[in-house]
Structure 1
Amino acid sequence: MSYSVGQVSGFAGVTVRTLHHYDKAQLLSPSERSPAGYRRYGDADLARLQQILFYRELGFTLDEIRTIMADPDAEALTHLRDRHRSLKEQITRLQSLVEVAERAIEVQQTGVRLTPQERFEVFGEVAFDLSYATDAHLKWGGSEGHRQSMARAAAHTKDDWRTLMAEAARWRRALVAAFEDGAACDSPRAMDLAEEHRGHIGRWFTPCPPEMHCRIADEYVEDARAFALVVPAPEQRPGLDRYLRDAVHANAGRVGTR
């Protein structure tokens, strides 16, 4: 049984023009002709076309395919091994590019609009897990608070970030001191620190009513990446995340009774 160019084009998912090109390049010439002189492809031709398309999918040029198919037993394995090695190298390069792109996306989603040099000047050696920014964007991106927070963060200058970071550092030292001194999470000292944290969020990012502050503090316990944005890993203490959460909830109750 034989098939027309149009039929083979439909079978193989290639254009008629491509089949004509393969014929002209002496890569795939139909083995039959109709009485009217039209190309007709037999089963062997279809099998050869399948091989050609397989090699094309792997990125071989037509010249390379012609060489392989001229002496398949001698050349195919060598060429396939070379292509396999090349594809693995390409995958490695592409994966690196994917990681760079993902990190760029995450940096953009933090709302920090600083150059790499400015980031270093402001944040120094502090390293944050930026993947949290992507997850937070997916989780909270539709909320007005998140949108406002990102917009205000994007508007901060380098000096703003320096002031913000210095303020946060002073607060962290006070929080760790209260924790290590054994101040109860519902003591005035701990609740005042929670209120200071709520004011920091409202001052630099978005209005933070007590119920929102509680949701934020809950996230610190549920996701270590979130807490690391507030207290970097080297400054953390076991249980400090829960201490801050409980202080925030205690303060929310205090604020609500005022």
Structure 2
Amino acid sequence: MDDAAGAGGLTVGAAASHVGVTVRTLHHWDAIGLVRPSGRSAGGYRLYSAGDVARIHRVLIYRELGLSLDDIGELLDAPTADMTVPLRQQRAQLVDRISRLRAMVDAVDRMIEAANSGILLSPEEQVAIFGQRWEPSSVAGARDRWGDTAQWTQFAERAAGMTPEDWQQVADNITTLENDLAAAKRAGVRPGSAEANALAERHRASIGVYFDCTLSMHVCLGRSSAADPGFLAYYDAIEPGLVSWLRDIIDANARDRGIDPDSATWS
């Protein structure tokens, strides 16, 4: 038998069991000259000496590091002075891989936190960026309402990569947009006009920072905002009647682009 005990070392079967590989693997490594048993039993069985087994262990270590069998063979047979070169190269690759994996873990952690909290800012940071009228609790309310939707998932993915500076830019853009909306309403800009449609599209784009907002979704958001006491109070503080006018320009813009506001759905 090929795995019979040998007096001068371990047979293929015994060596395979000892190091945790298959007999077929050792046969292959023998055939390509990677690890060849150095002895034979009286019955002609191949026997692995202690040195052969140590070489097998080195192969396993190098293979775990990601080296090819060809590279492992060159490494094992290289002069002692040269063997650190490929090892140092492999170490550098492993350090780089560990760094990338850690970055991936951090990114996943941020996505989990963003999915749970919405905005990766402290309440104090939120107020500092979005203003004294901002209610940090509104984010939790939005999560409770929309947390199981595709749009919240998309928002969490985007929020996970945003820095306080990114949020400050978002807040500044919203302030500019709100001021322009208020100025247009005061100036009597008519819903459906080119200027009103451009403002409606800017408003839709501001929502697009968080998730992809279709024209139909925009209409639905305009209606829900007009019916929400919190939004009414917020926009009235900027310009009385602004939220109703905003809803009107959103509807007109959607109609001009082929969407019937009366039958618009969240799609």
TM superposition score normalised by structure 1: 0.50
Task: Kindly name which structure, 1 or 2, has the bigger radius of gyration based on alpha carbons.
Answer: 2
- Considering Cα pairs closer than 8 Å and 6+ residues apart, tell me whether 1 or 2 has the greater RCO: 1
More helix per residue: 1 or 2? 1
TM superposition score normalised by structure 2: 0.48
